[in-house]
Amino acid sequence: MLRFLESMQWVLFIFFTAAYAYQIFYLLVGLWGKQRGGVENAELHRYAAIISARNESAVIGRLIRTLKEQDYPSELLDVIVVADNCTDNTAEVARSAGAIVYERFNKVQVGKGYALDYLFKHIFEEQGEDAYDAFFVFDADNIVDPQFVREMNKMYDTGEYSALTSYRNSQNFCANWISAGYALWFLRESRFLNRPRTRLGVNCAVSGTGFLISADVLREEGGWNYHLLTEDIEFSIASAVRGRKIGYCGNAIIYDEQPERFRQSWDQRLRWSKGFYQVDAKYTGALLRGCTRGGKAGMSCYDMLMTVAPCNLVTIGSLLLAVLLCVTSFAQPAYITYRVMRMLGRILMLTVRGITFSLFAFGAVTMIAEWKRIAGPAWKKVLYTFTFPFFMLTYVPISIAALVGKVEWKPIQHGIAKVQEERESA
């Protein structure tokens, strides 16, 4: 049994290494490959910037202002907000800032996916299905670079993509180890996943905010039909399965605000983990069939399959088996218990050390590559490179909790809102 357990650990190690080896190539392309550009003399398309907001009065005005200040003709860019189940004055603040606002109150169909579907259908019914060529989707806490729309337009005008994602930087990278962990992961996703994918002709994944979706897709599907807890990943998976191409525009930049409290981080990542399980249950079969297509379409499906595969649960399961063996060994002679405990310790040490080293390596490479684009003192950047593996390892208990518990959407209080409340209370 001991030999079997040890052999199983090596089999898992070899399997996962082989399954994710392609990301080493992505890493090389991300480091030295040129970033894909768009059409310089692109036709100017008509867009709507969509914001789904729930009790975001403290931050939404700032986002709308950065959209109104875009280096793009204002008559070709509308800002439309769906104030979703708000109990504050988000709608009033958004209107005062110059946005078109729809208010939605639905306590049964809760979540961003339902709010987006509601908004798109109202836009099509009231303004017509041809009112806009494409839509941008933002979160209320974003800040948008002045060149964002113009750069996305250059990529969209190539006619190759049904959707585009952007470069996701952070407003509060160096606030603490939690915000830095989020931010470093999103930077890695931009530089070493989405950038190589687009360079190699493989599908990207959108990550909730700062993305474009063609109006053609919404017309074909009759709205936004993605309502799982991670509707962005669901859309990305469905696009790969259906052969729709998602690209990456690295010159289009948004600045996201990351959670700084562990409780909020836990709740948010618990929802993400549960959403990944939902996506696995719904799309794994389709992704496996898509992998058989071969070529870039097959690789897109394989890449998305590896993105949502619950590999951490497989690792946890094997470790739990080792722990169970350890417990049962207490009924055996002392020398057997000693051998089991020694092997269990070696397995745990090798597993944790291997995962920690891999996470640190990815974090360090990302930090070095993106050093100049990360705001904050040098010592904090170095410190949070070392805390990044710990942040990622907290996904282990989160993944287990998401597997066995009920998960619902919970609001994330943004830092600006927190400061405002503290000032009012003072």
pLDDT of 355: 84
Q: Give me the sheet containing 47-53, strands edge to edge.
A: 100-104, 77-84, 47-53, 134-139, 211-214, 163-170, 246-256, 143-144
pLDDT of residue 84: 94
The pLDDT of 112-140, averaged and rounded, is 95
Whether the per-residue pLDDT at 218 is higher than 90: the answer is yes
DSSP state letters, 375-405: -S-HHHHHHHHHHHHHHHHTHHHHHHHHHHS
Are 117 and 106 in contact by the 8 Å Cβ rule? The answer is no
User: Residue 167 pLDDT more than 60?
Assistant: yes
- Which of 55, 69, 50, 93 is CA-nearest to residue 144? 69
Label residue 323 by pLDDT band (50, 70, 90).
low
- For the ranges 18-22, 55-59, 65-69, the one whose mean pLDDT is highest: 65-69
Quote the radius of gyration of the chain (alpha carbons, Å): 23
User: CA torsion, points 359, 362, 279, 155, in degrees to nearest 10?
Assistant: 170
DSSP code for 99: -
Mean pLDDT of all residues belonging to the chain: 89
Q: 75: Cβ–Cβ under 8 A, 6 or more apart, which residues?
A: none
Of the given ranges (43-47, 55-59, 154-158, 351-355), which has the lowest mean pLDDT?
Answer: 351-355
Which candidate, 205, 212, 210, places its Cα nearest to that of 236?
205
User: How many Å apart are CA 217 and CA 134, to the nearest integer?
Assistant: 9
**pLDDT for residue 424:** 40
Q: Is the pLDDT of residue 51 over 80?
A: yes
- Residue 34 gets which letter from DSSP? P
First to last CA, the chain: 64
At residue 335, the pLDDT reads 67
Provide the pLDDT for residue 417: 44
